[in-house]
Each structure stands twice: as C-alpha cells, then as structure tokens.
Amino acid sequence: MSVTILGPLSGAGEKLALYSFRIPAGFPSPAADHIEKHISLDEIFDIRAPHVYLAKIEGESMQDAGIFCGDLVIVDRSLNAEHGDIVIAGLNSEPICKRLHMRDNTIILLSANSKYPPRYVMEGDELVIWGVVTYSVRDHGKP
C-alpha cells in the first residue's frame, strides 16, 4: 500500500447545512425548515491546521479497517501514535498506512487484509510516524 501526501488543510472552511432528520437512502430533497445549523467540515473532522493533512491511499491492505484504494485519509500529526492506531509512517523511507502494534519492545505494522503479511520493524530499520489517521473520506461518485 502506498500513500500520497496531498498537503495541509486550510484552517477555515465554508459552512454547510446540517439537517436535523435522519436521511434514508433515496430521500426527497430536504426542506429548508429542517436545517438545524450550519457547520463546516473543519468542525466535523476536528481539523486543527497546521497539524492536520490529507493523504491519498493506494492499495488494498487496509480495506478491512474501512480504508480502500483511492480513499483520502485525514491525518493528525499532533497526536502521539499509540498501540492500535492506524498511522501514516515512513518505514525505511517508504510511505505506508498500517495499524501500529507495540508490545514488549516489538513494533509491528499490521495490514487490515489477510492477503498482506505483517511488517516487523527490525533493528536497523528506520520508522518515522508521520501522523495518526483520524478519518477517511471516500468518493462514491466513481465506479
């Protein structure tokens, strides 16, 4: 799985309408009187620029975690990566997205797809955590 860093997000975004009713698939156009408030995607995704950036995921190794090829992930580099977090990292300068496993002085980068083996961080390897994945965004408009 490879990762393409797209860059930081700006700190302020446009406010969008948040509707106060649940929306079943195939809903009719919502009426203006159901608007609860206006919020921004910055608020929804808890974006705190400049600590947050976007990365595009390529590959299928994280699909069982709900991260698919072509997805954008929102990455917070201000968070300390902990056991179980999904991280964007550089392993020997190779950008990757994996689940971080840290137990008993052993670090393993785990895929979320049984087709891909775990990557053990060995003595002499260089591992740099570039941030913790907080959200993923999928484009449903493409087949």
In whole angstroms, give the CA distance from residue 62 to residue 69.
Answer: 9
- Which of the following is catalytic: 15, 20, 93, 98? 98
Active site residue 61: yes
In whole angstroms, give the CA distance from residue 136 to residue 112.
Answer: 15
In whole angstroms, give the CA distance from residue 38 to residue 84.
Answer: 34
- Which of the following is catalytic: 15, 29, 37, 61? 61
Active site residue 111: no
Catalytic residues, which ones?
61, 98
